[in-house]
């Protein structure tokens, strides 16, 4: 089970994964970052990974005797920014193929970002969520800058241990 820093670690691992995938296409000028909807107004071409929603993962059952746990599903909006519309659509295609080719963040992927947050056998699966366009209308009303093509990506299971980790705070290595 992971420490409280797991959510930030998963976000950073997704960013690193997408950055490697985009750089592998020869596009070293493309920036990938974790951010918020406000970051989408920047003119430089890139991809922003926005943690959109966190909910309990009802599909995860933790064995009794393992202590208090919090199984979560993390929902991300992966949004291209800057550039021309066709460039943004190309970035979405690159992101989609990268996630389809490597849909799992392994314990090595997670430890490369923040060592010690996840156990050596833990992994996080990445998948696309099909969202009807009208389901995003409340998001678009609240944050009009998000009203553009994006991918909804689920990260699961992220099982937090309610036990204190002994070392509070996030220590992300990039």
Q: Of 53, 63, 78, which Cα lies nearest the Cα of 156?
A: 53
CATH of domain 6-161: 3.30.2000.10
Q: What 3-state class would DSSP assign to 146?
A: helix
What's the pLDDT score for residue 39? 67
**Residue labelled with tokens 């970002």:** 113
pTM: 0.83
Those residues with Cβ within 8 angstroms of residue 50's Cβ, 6 or more apart along the chain or in another chain: 34, 35, 36, 37, 76, 77, 78, 79, 146
User: What is the DSSP track for 66-113?
Assistant: S--EEEEEEEEEEEEESS-HHHHHHHHHHHHHHHHH--EE-HHHHHHH
Q: Is 79 left (phi over 0), alpha (psi -120 to 50) or beta?
A: beta
Written as tens digits, the pLDDT of the chain (174 aa) is 899 899 999 999 999 999 888 888 887 777 888 987 666 666 678 889 999 899 988 887 666 555 678 899 999 999 888 778 888 888 899 899 989 988 999 999 999 999 999 999 999 999 999 988 788 788 778 877 767 788 999 999 999 987 654 444 433 333
What's the pLDDT score for residue 64? 58
User: What is the DSSP track for 27-70?
Assistant: -TT-EEEEE-GGGGG-SS-EEEEEEEEEEE-TT--PPTTS--EE
Identify the helix (H) or strand (E) that includes residue 156.
strand 151-161
What's the pLDDT score for residue 40? 66
Q: Of 93, 72, 101, which Cα lies nearest the Cα of 150?
A: 93
According to DSSP, residue 26 is labeled T
What's the pLDDT score for residue 171? 38
What's the pLDDT score for residue 156? 95
CB 18 within 8 A of CB 49: yes
Domain boundaries, the chain: 6-161
């Amino acid at each position: 089970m992971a420490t409280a820093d797991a959510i930030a670690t998963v976000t950073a691992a997704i960013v690193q994964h997408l950055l490697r995938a985009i750089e592998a296409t020869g596009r070293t000028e493309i920036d990938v970052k974790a951010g918020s909807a406000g970051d989408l107004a920047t003119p430089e071409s890139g991809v922003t990974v926005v943690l959109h929603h966190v909910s309990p993962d009802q599909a995860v059952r933790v064995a009794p005797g393992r202590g208090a746990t919090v199984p979560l599903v993390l929902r991300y909006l992966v949004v291209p920014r800057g550039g021309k519309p066709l460039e943004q659509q190309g970035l979405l295609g690159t992101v989609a193929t990268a996630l389809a080719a490597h849909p799992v963040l392994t314990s090595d992927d997670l430890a490369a970002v923040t060592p010690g947050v996840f156990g050596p056998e833990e992994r996080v699966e990445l998948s696309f969520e099909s969202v009807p366009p009208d389901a995003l209308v409340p998001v678009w009303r609240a944050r009009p800058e998000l009203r553009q093509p994006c991918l909804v990506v689920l990260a699961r299971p992220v099982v937090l241990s309610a036990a204190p980790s002994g070392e509070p705070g996030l220590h992300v290595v990039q």
